[in-house]
Amino acid sequence: MDNPPELDGRVAVVTGGTRGVGAGIVRAFLRAGAEVVVCARRPPDAPVEVAGRKAEFVPVDLRDGDAVRAFFARVATDYGRLDALVNNAGGTPYRPLSAADANRHARVLELNLTAPLIASLTAYEVMTARQGPEGAGPEGAGGSITMIGSVSGSRPSPGTAAYGAAKAGLEHLARSMAVEWAPAVRVNTLVLGMVRTELSHLHYGDEEGVAAVGRTVPLGRLAEPEEIGEVAVFLASDRAAYISGASLLVHGGGERPAFLDAANADRTD
């Protein structure tokens, strides 16, 4: 007999899960048996679904604290529980620091750091509020929160400096949450490298450009969104029950150091 999907009966929220990496995460959670609720400012062009199972979409501006609290209250009412939150929403345009004022850069920080903080605080309340029979105490209360970080948070990010700073802060925030909220809620970060999405051409150019960029990665290609989703499912599952406060690199081996190709030393010996 086949084992049931590992997240069967569980409820997950994926922020910004309408396209790209977020949609890949949503599909992985659906495939694992979870009920998935997606929130973002704009609806997807088509419902995110796998094998006839669809994610519910709710429009939310994640920078609006009142709207976020109302959203999670709706999830609690409609589903009776919340087991996993994936803070995926974020992003930034290419913008050198001197090309914009501080307020414009602050908006990047707000979306990529403050918004996940607001969502996590509210999700924590829902995850830990579930009661047992007759309100006698917690029954299975708790859950998993996963931040979607970036290698930009640990290396120079010219053109996306505010984004890199936010991702660095997000990773530190996750570690602090993991300590404060243990043992009820586990908090981890997926530190992503380059992922092939429908917007890759904006960053890397045509197919030849995408392939050329992929060759700079030790594994020889960009990640696919579903591959990120599978790791997110793992962190939300019982298989990761002893993993909290961790930063898991999902970057195909990282970046080949530039000095290796610039040096002219004789390596034949």
List residues with catalytic annotation: 163
Q: What residues contact 55, with CB distance under 8 A and at least 6 apart?
A: 14, 17, 26, 30, 36, 37, 38, 47, 48, 49
Tell me the two tokens of residue 59. 């429009």
Cα torsion at 46, 50, 56, 58 (round to 10°)? -50
Q: For the CA atoms of 199, 16, 94, 261, what is the dihedral angle to 10 degrees? A: -70
Q: Is the peptide bond before 257 cis (omega within 30 degrees of 0)?
A: no
What are the backbone dihedrals phi and psi of residue 184, each rounded to the nearest 5 degrees, phi first?
-70, -40
| Burial (CB count <10 Å: 0-12, 13-18, 19+), residue 67 | middle
Residues 6+ apart with CB under 8 A from 95: 104, 105, 159, 160, 162
Contact (Cβ atoms closer than 8 angstroms) between residue 161 and residue 94? no
Judge whether 167 and 106 are in contact, CB under 8 Å: no
